Amino acid sequence: MHRIVAKIQLSPNVTRLDVEAPRVAQIRQPGQFVIVRRTDRAERIPLTVADADPKAGTIALVIQAVGKSTKELVALNVGDVIRDVAGPLGMPTELISKGRALCVGGGVGTAVVHPIAQGLHARGASVTSVIGGRSKEWVIFEPELQRYGNVVVCTDDGSYGRKGFVTDASRELLEAGGIDIVYAVGPVPMMRAIANLTRPFGVHTIVSLNPVMVDGTGMCGGCRVDVGGETKFACVDGPEFDGHKVDFDLLADRLSTYRPQEQAAAERCGDNCRVGLNK
């Protein structure tokens, strides 16, 4: 059992849970994730380790409540427990140790960018982060990212930071020159747009993919993606890949495969999704 020691509402549908997982906290690296099960009968949910405190033995899980399982998970409170936290899984991020990195986060993807910026800073690289949300209340992890370098905030409606998309601010930084590598995490359309933006500049671009994932060991095949014409498994070969080689059309198509079933499950869950069920 993994006890929840802290809970913070980051945005209207994004929650941070700090969870006891001492072994994961000790060895996790940027880019890696865990698979969580709320109970022994619950769905397996892959979540990036957004932060860790090895001394306290805790990891930070940032969860976007969009379906039945994630809504049940964020309904838990401090003192409740999560049945399983398996990991760390996946390949660590390819980090540079010198030069300038641009980290681009959209929505909940900003939480995934955080450990990457953290790792880059620790290695001595210069970090600039561009993060975005629909409006001010949807922007997350700004103070945390400011510890590692300059942060540019973009909002669709201009209610905070600069008005516009993360691609607009990223284009200006690329045109100014000096960017050696780009890390982009967010919705598929955003990552595709960033990859298309950086291609003419010849800047290596890494994206973090979120296909359907079940076991996290490469055995189920659900998380397969096409990268450079080759089939890769996001759970063991990724979740990060060269953004200029990813088939984003195929990724988007597979992400929508179970959408009707997911919506039906959320509707059946109803009010039960808003209460802790594993006390």
- The predicted pLDDT at position 235 comes to 85
- The predicted pLDDT at position 263 comes to 58
Domain 100-255 bears CATH identifier 3.40.50.1820: no
Return the domain boundaries, the chain. 2-91, 100-255
Per-residue pLDDT of the chain (279 residues; tens, 9 = 90+): 899 999 999 999 899 999 999 999 999 999 999 999 998 888 888 999 999 999 999 999 999 988 888 898 999 999 999 999 988 999 999 999 999 999 999 999 999 999 999 999 999 999 999 999 999 999 999 999 999 999 999 999 999 999 999 999 999 999 999 999 999 999 999 999 999 999 999 999 999 998 777 777 777 777 888 999 999 988 889 899 999 999 998 888 876 655 555 555 556 666 555 543 333
Q: What is the CATH number of domain 2-91?
A: 2.40.30.10
- Tell me the C-alpha distance between 85 and 105, whole Å: 25
- The predicted pLDDT at position 1 comes to 87
- Tell me the C-alpha distance between 17 and 132, whole Å: 21
